[in-house]
Chain A
Amino acid sequence: MTAFTATVTIRLKRGVLDPEAETTQRSLERLGFDLNDLRSADVFELDLDADSAEDAAERAEEMAERLLANPTIHDYDIEVAQAE
Chain B
Amino acid sequence: MTIAVIQFGGSNCDRDSVQALESLGFDGELVWHEDGLPEDVDGIVLPGGFSYGDYLRAGAMAAHSPIMAEVREAASDGTPVLGICNGAQIGCESSLTPGAFTTNESARFQCEHVHLRVENAETPWTSQYEQGEVVELPIAHGEGRYEISDDRLDELEAEDRILFKYCDENGEVTPEANPNGSKHSVAGVTGEDDHIAVMMPHPERATLSDLGRTDGQGVLKGFAE
Contact = CB atoms under 8 A, between A and B. Distances in A.
Interface of A: 16-20, 22-23, 66-68, 70, 72-73
B147 A19 contact: no
Contact of B106 (A16, A19, A67, A73): A19
Given A19-B107, A66-B64, A73 B147 contact: yes
B57 A19 contact: no
A31 B16 CA distance: 45
Contacts of B107: 19-20, 22-23
- Contact-residue bracket for chain B: 20 to 34
A26 B33 CA distance: 41
A17 B181 contact: yes
B211 interface: no
Nearest to A18: B103
A17 B100 contact: no
Interface of B: 56-57, 60, 64, 92-93, 98-100, 102-107, 145, 147-149, 181
Contacts of B60: 67, 70
Contacts of B100: 70, 72-73
A70 B100 CA distance: 8
Contacts of B102: 16, 73
Contacts of A70: 57, 60, 93, 100
Given A17-B181, A70-B100, A72-B100, 18 more contacts: A16-B102, A16-B147, A18-B103, A19-B103, A19-B104, A19-B145, A19-B181, A66-B64, A67-B56, A67-B60, A67-B64, A68-B56, A70-B60, A70-B93, A72-B99, A72-B148, A73-B100, A73-B102
A51 B212 CA distance: 63
A10 to B, nearest CB: 10
Nearest to B148: A72
B64 A17 contact: no
